[in-house]
Amino acid sequence: MIRFFKSQINVMNMDKSIFNNRCRKLKAGSGKMKTLRSPLDTPQSNLFTLNFKLFTLLFTFLLAPNFAQDKVGTTAAPFLTIPGGARPTAMGGAYVAVAEGPSAQFWNPAGIALTTTYELEFSMADWFLDTKLSHAAVVIPIGRQVIGLNMKQLDYGDEMVTTIQDPEGTGEYWSARDRSLGVNYAVKLTDRFTIGGTAKFITQKIYHESDNAVALDLGLLYRSQFKNLRIGMSIANFGSDMQLTGEDLMRPVDIDPSNEGNNDNISSNLNTDKWPLPLTYCVGIAADIVEREYLKWTLTADALHPNNNNSFMRIGTEVVVAGIIYLRTGHSSIMKKHAEESFSYGIGFRYNLGGLKFGYDYSYTPFGKLGNVPRNSIYIGL
């Protein structure tokens, strides 16, 4: 890391030295000093250079930890890290710098600050082993401020309870569900810089055991003038630990089995371990490589540092034709250990009808041995 900073300083000093030497040569040859302007001195170039160096520093910081460290399965509520929305997942989840609309609440809370109309989005997906994943979000603009509401749920379904005495079932069913409810607030500080945050209430329940937690998501989003360059940063799931409790953890116990006269039916409670939430740091960059009247091409990349896995990258791209047809692809697990997912693909449509905006997005993600996951999202704007 120190070598990287030193190399950046050396490059800057070398550029300055080269420019000064050229000025001295011109003065010596003509006897007159001409006013020279470095090609890097234009406001647009300086702004781009500053943004690029800032992103490079943050990007290097996130990928600096040891990649060999294995932290899989060390947090509670892993459903919080499951990507939501067909548009973001079709782009490989590289969405923190392009986050916009209702689904931005799941990626970068600052993204909804650019919303100017009432918008609603709902997404459904068949997750692994017959589980159902759903996301819903709505945004309400109030001047320069925007309020958002969001919900994420992973439903494991219902299954009949079986025992040794009743292997065919007792007639009772057990279920398991994970749910997160959030309130998002975002504000546009300037026409190019927005910030936002989400307060979430998280619940995990399996049969008679459950626990709750609260968490915060924070996000920043900056848009420059050069190629609509965007830099986004987010911290997700900063909150309390979770520990399952419930009636099934209560057990009778004999604390002194060697004494026949003692009470051998004392109520006790089995304590489960506490686990932290899946805290994730993310920084991303995006730019519109081509931006014409009927065609726009966007490239985006994210670097992530979670507390339950090694650091990894996501990349994605989106091509918009005539503002109606959206073609997307991306990869969500570059340098991620033991990843099953590969390139994802998707398509979307947007159409304005009077004062109403309608949208549909579809994504398809292969997960190797686990199968394929299609997602569908519906968007409505008023």
How confident is the model over 300-346, as pLDDT tens digits? 999 999 999 999 999 999 999 999 999 999 999 999 988 898 899 99
The pLDDT tens digits for 197-255 are 999 999 999 999 999 999 999 999 999 988 889 999 999 999 999 999 998 898 888 77
- DSSP character string of 262-290: S-S-EEEEPPPPPB----EEEEEEEEEEE
Cβ–Cβ under 8 Å, residues 237 and 180: no
The pLDDT assigned to 3 comes to 44
pLDDT in tens, 115-150: 999 999 999 999 998 899 999 999 999 988 999 999
Task: Answer whether residue 353 shows pLDDT above 90.
Answer: no
Please check whether residue 200 is in contact with residue 231, taking contact to mean a CB–CB distance below 8 angstroms. Answer: no
Counting every residue written for the chain, the total comes to 382
Residue 309 carries which side chain, given as an amino acid letter? N
Please compute Rg for the chain using Cα positions. Answer: 26
Give the other-Cβ count within 10 Å of 237's Cβ.
24
Rounded distance between C-alpha atoms, residue 309 and residue 124, angstroms: 26
Tokens representing residue 331 in the block: 């990869």
Note the pLDDT tens digit of each residue in 160-195.
999 899 988 898 999 999 999 999 999 999 989 999
Smallest Cα–Cα separation from 272: which of 72, 79, 73, 76? 76
- Residues linked to residue 365 through DSSP beta bridges, in sequence order: 373
> In this predicted model, what pLDDT tens digit does every residue of 252-311 receive, in sequence order?
887 777 777 777 778 888 889 999 999 999 999 999 999 999 999 999 999 999 999 999
The CA dihedral of 224, 228, 233, 234, to the nearest 10 degrees, is 130
Question: Using 50, 70 and 90 to split pLDDT, how confident is the model at 377?
Answer: very high
The mean per-residue pLDDT over the stretch 98-110 comes to: 95
| pLDDT at 143 (0 to 100) | 85
- Count the helices and strands in the chain (H runs, E runs): 3, 17
Pair 71, 308: CB distance under 8 Å: yes
Chain segment 7-63, per-residue pLDDT in tens: 444 444 444 454 455 555 444 444 444 444 444 444 444 544 554 455 455 545 444
- Domain 78-241+276-381 sits in CATH 2.40.160.60: yes
Q: Given CA atoms 305, 310, 311, 315 in this order, what sign does their dihedral have?
A: negative
The dihedral built from the CA positions of residue 103, 141, 356 and 136, taken in this order, carries a sign that is: positive
